[in-house]
Every structure is written in C-alpha cells, then in structure tokens.
Amino acid sequence: MTVTNAEILAALGQVLLPGGGDVVSADLVRALEINDANVRFVLEIAPDQGAAMAPVRDAAEAAVAGLEGVRNVSVVLTAHSAPEKKPAPPDLKIGRHATPQAAPMAIPGIERIVAIASGKGGVGKSTVTSNLAVALARQGRRVGLLDADIYGPSQHRMMGLADRPASPDGKEILPLVSHGVTFMSMGLMLKEDEAVIWRGPMLMGALQQLLGQVRWGDLDILLIDLPPGTGDVQLTLAQKAKVTGAIVVSTPQDIALLDARKALNMFAKTNTPVLGMIENMSAYICPNCGHADHLFGHGGARAEAERLGIPFLGEIPLDIEIRRAADDGAPVALRDSDLAGCYATMASDMIAAGNA
C-alpha cells in the first residue's frame, strides 16, 4: 500500500510546536516528496529556532515513520532567510512648503547667481538664457542653468535633455549636463504634458529645493531662468538666495517695455542689482536680400537701459535658425556663425565685467 500526501500531512498535524499549534497549521512543511515508500520533506523554521525545533523534527520523523507504506523518512530543518531589506527609493518629490530661512543664503560652490527675467512672456527669455549659458561654457566658464519656470518649464527641451535626474541617497538630486552646462529643470521631474497645479507656498518650496537640494558642484555662474512677471518665484529667489544680479530681456515693442519696467522696479525693491538689458527680436534680416526689417520697433531696450543708467548687453535678431536650434535641443550658440556671435559677445562682456 502506497502512503499518500494527505496521510502524511494528517500525521504531521499531530506534531505539536513548543509555542502552540502544529507543524501543518503553522505552514512549516515544505518540499514533501514520496518516492517508492521513501518520504522526504523539509521543516522551514526561523533562523533562531534551530535548537528548539530539533525535538519537533524528531517527532515529525517518528510520526511519518509509523505510517503504513513508509520505509524510510528524511526530515531536514532549514531556516528561511530574512527578506533583504532594500533601501527606500530616493525621494525625488519636488514641491513642499518652503522652510523658514533667516536671510538669503549662498549656495556652496557657486560663485555667482544671475537671474534672467522678463516682464511678460513671449519675448524669448528662455531662448536667450540657454544660448547665453552655452556661450559662457564655450568661453571656459563653469556654468549651471536652473529652469525656475515651474509652471511652464521648457529649458530641458532647448538643452536636448529628457532623462529623469537620479538621487542616490534620497536627499540630493544629481543634475544633468548638456553642452557643457550643468542643468536642472522641473520639466525633468514631470511626465510629458503633465501640469503643475500648485498654490504659492508649494511653488516657493519647489524653488528652494531646486536651489539647495541639487548637487550643483563648483560653478562660476548659475543662470536662473525666471518665469515671466513679478510673482512668487521672483520674490522667493530674492529671499532665499544671494543673487549677484539680474538681466532683463525685452523686445523693442512699447508694450513689452512697459512690463520690462515692472521687472526692473521689482529688482530695485528687492535690492537686486540689474546687470543689463538685452533686446531680443530686434530686427528681421531677409535671408535673400539682407534687408533689416524692425517688426517690433527698434532700440527700445537700449533707450530704456540708457535712461536708467544700466548696461545694454546687445541686440539679438529675429531668426528662424534660433528657433529651429532650440527645438532641436542644440542652441545656436554652439555654432560658429553670426547668430552665435551675438551671444558670444554678451558672454565675453559679462566675463570682462566680472559678472560671469
């Protein structure tokens, strides 16, 4: 007569454990095998129960050996290994309320922080910022670029980046590097087309994290691409970080200059020096005949800079190659061309003035 699994388990159900219960109800029986009246099984126990469970093993062996149809019994005690304790995944969540801070602080390793601002959107501020960062890097400066436009980040696209930053310890975020520029953007932390729907306190906390939680390393200059306007991000930057100065980008159009003046006024009220103004989309140069057409007017930013007694850093034309290069993730400042020369001149002037 051949013994069955059910008969063996019924017999083992009578083998009691020191703390109560039996080996079957405690689910200790593993790898039960019957082979021509030879029975084998394993009792899986906790690692620290070896000595206490030896009598249980003997009792289990005797219980099965007493069954009809069993010739030999082999019982092995084995300790299951404790599950490996994996480290908690890095916490890359951005967006919390800002922590109290007594005064603006320097960021370790960063010599200068320069904010790039505009009074209104659509004047090409982000395109100017990415090209200026690349131009400075090409002239040997150690450059960082922070896209602080939390609601509408675009710099990661212009810099040709899509990978999510890593955080080996869950505390610091490792920035990415592109075209010689150390880079971080809220756009790298989001899914494509995902909207940021935050109130002011979370916006302020996010900027504080992007400034202090990113491992920027040693930089000569960190350019911060601000969102348009004079809101929470601008005020938080002035309150949390020691900003070297600001550059205001505007088109020559009167309406754009009205808003640019508001940005200039904001920096005056927050005691942030203005390092200069840039006139973007200054002229359209016909690629066929070379005629310059001033679609948005001309010279408005230069005149405003002269009126306020601040440096005028230069004019940038309206050119389709600047837009194409930005969409391709390779700013036009990477090239050796007249367009790239506009940004190179601004970069060299900043370096000469000690602002980069």
The answer on 346 and 295 residing in a single domain is yes
Q: If DSSP codes are grouped into helix, strand and coil, which group holds residue 61?
A: helix
How many structural domains compose the chain?
A: 2
Phi-psi domain of 286 (left: phi exceeds 0; alpha: psi -120 through 50; beta: other): beta
Residues 313, 278: contact at Cβ < 8 Å?
Answer: yes
Residue 122 · residue 231 · CB < 8 Å: no
Look-up: residue for tokens 């971080």? 184
- Domain contains 105: no
- End of a domain among 79, 95, 130? 79
Tens digit of each residue's pLDDT, the chain (356 residues): 678 888 999 999 999 998 888 988 888 898 888 888 888 988 888 877 877 888 999 999 999 999 988 899 999 888 765 555 544 444 456 666 667 777 888 999 999 999 999 988 889 999 999 999 999 999 999 999 999 988 889 999 999 998 888 888 777 899 999 999 999 998 888 777 677 777 777 878 888 888 988 999 999 999 999 998 888 889 889 888 999 999 999 999 888 888 999 999 999 999 999 999 999 999 888 888 878 888 887 888 999 999 999 999 999 999 999 999 999 999 999 999 999 999 999 999 999 999 99
Domain of 70, CATH number, reads 3.30.300.130
Identify the domain containing residue 65 by its residue range: 5-79
Q: Tell whether 286 is covered by a domain.
A: yes
How many helices and strands in the chain, by DSSP H and E? Answer: 10, 12
Whole-number Å distance between alpha carbons of 133 and 143:
6
32 and 158, same domain (yes or no): no
